[in-house]
Amino acid sequence: MKPISVQVNSEIGKLKGVIVHTPGAEVENMTPENAKRALYSDILNLSIALPEYRDFLGVLKKYTNVFEVKDLLETVVQDEAVRTGLIKKVCEHEQHKHELGQLCEKINDLPSPELARQLMEGIEMQKDNLTRFLDNERFCLNPLPNFFFTRDASFSMGNHVMISKMANTVRDREAIIMETIFDSHPLFKTTTVNPVLDYDKTGRGSIEGGDVVIAREDVIIIGTGDRTTTQGIDSMIEFLKTKPGVKHILVQELPFKPESFIHLDMTFTFLDKDQCMIFEPLILRSQKYLTIHITIDGNKVSKIREEKDLVNSLKKLGIDLEPVFCGGETDQFVMEREQWQSGANFFAIEPGKVIGYERNTHTIDALSRHGFEIVNARDVVKGKVRLENYKKVAVTIEGNELSRGGGGARCMTMPVAREKVDW
């Protein structure tokens, strides 16, 4: 396949390439005891989650170029220098693990597919002495059960790939792996940027891809809450100062609790050039959580001010969106339930064509009332439905098990290229 030039300047441009990770044994390596440490409030049944995920994956493969993290990682670690550098980074980061150093020497000799698998699925501790026998830990290198949410550890912005600084160290290895892939794989033509590492001097910066929404080439929306700090956003400001022209950052404050507000895309996603999905009580009615507009002109912040709400501030910038309400328009309890189930988390494969969870019935009904045809993912995969026959369509996947992981279709995708949108 010819190299892909990374280019993402919107949330809705026709998708040309996307990175995913099919959940595997790392998900089943969770127990009720370690789930909280892994940032889960529940444990997933892989045998139920996989058929749902395969429907989702099948739709993407019908439509665009799909790349699996595991395949990409296998390729890059075939290079001896890349392999050595990656293992060194992982081991240095997780050096608190006793005797991990000896293990790192051993895994360097693993075949590439096995090394890639173990870096994601975890490595069990050998109980071959008394200390390890009595250790409550099962793994000396923990699994990465969050990795199927590929949105978070890196995100495309223009022709750059931004490497996230994860809020929780249990996810740092995901960002290390993604940075290694984009720096080393011949398939991707891009430059990686680690904004927090490069620009944050406070030590308190974090930023994750689920909080970053690319509205337009010059307009970026970033949520700040549990996973992305104000210092992380400041590091993005510093990066954008290095780019010419006028740029806009719209910051949306998020609640720290409940955990369903983990990222901005759990409350706001683009559906089309003129429509968005929102959790209305936060995006339109909140008086507690601010919307702030930061204007960057060349190498300085020229203006920073509070806005009425996110939809109104986008309208001022020429992005006039009709909001569709997650959970429908009438019952806030229903809105809250469906927001908890990732009801606002839609992924656009082109303007007006989106993927989301079928289980959020009131949200799906709201989409239907706003002009979207509703089709089932399995019918798309089987060829019974052709998306090119629709102008506006929402493809539904069941999501009864996947949603328990705390994310939706947007969370499970990391676009690397989209076509330009004619606004």
For 299-318, what is the mean pLDDT? Answer: 97
For 148-173, what is the mean pLDDT? Answer: 96
Residues 6+ apart with CB under 8 A from 107: 87, 115, 118, 123
How many helices (H) and strands (E) are present in the chain, helices listed first?
15, 22
pLDDT of residue 138: 78
pLDDT 10s digits, 345-354: 999 999 999 9
For 282-305, what is the mean pLDDT? Answer: 96
Domain boundaries, the chain: 208-323
Q: Per-residue pLDDT for 20 more than 90?
A: yes
**H-type helices in 287-342, by residue range?**
310-316, 332-340
Give this prediction's pTM.
0.94
Residue 94's pLDDT band, with cuts at 50, 70 and 90, is confident
Q: Per-residue pLDDT for 52 more than 60?
A: yes
pLDDT 10s digits, 393-406: 999 999 999 988 88
Residue 127 vs residue 182, higher pLDDT: 182
Residue type, 358: E
**Interior CA angle at 341 toward 223 and 382, to 5°?**
110
pLDDT 10s digits, 101-133: 567 777 888 999 999 999 999 888 777 788 778
User: What are the Cα distances from residue 301, in Å, to 4, 99, 211, 248, 304?
Assistant: 33, 48, 21, 10, 7
Residue 30 vs residue 217, higher pLDDT: 217
pLDDT of residue 129: 82
Q: Per-residue pLDDT for 28 more than 90?
A: no
Rounded distance, CA 308 to CA 323, Å? Answer: 15
pLDDT of residue 102: 66
pLDDT of residue 313: 98
Q: Per-residue pLDDT for 33 more than 60?
A: no
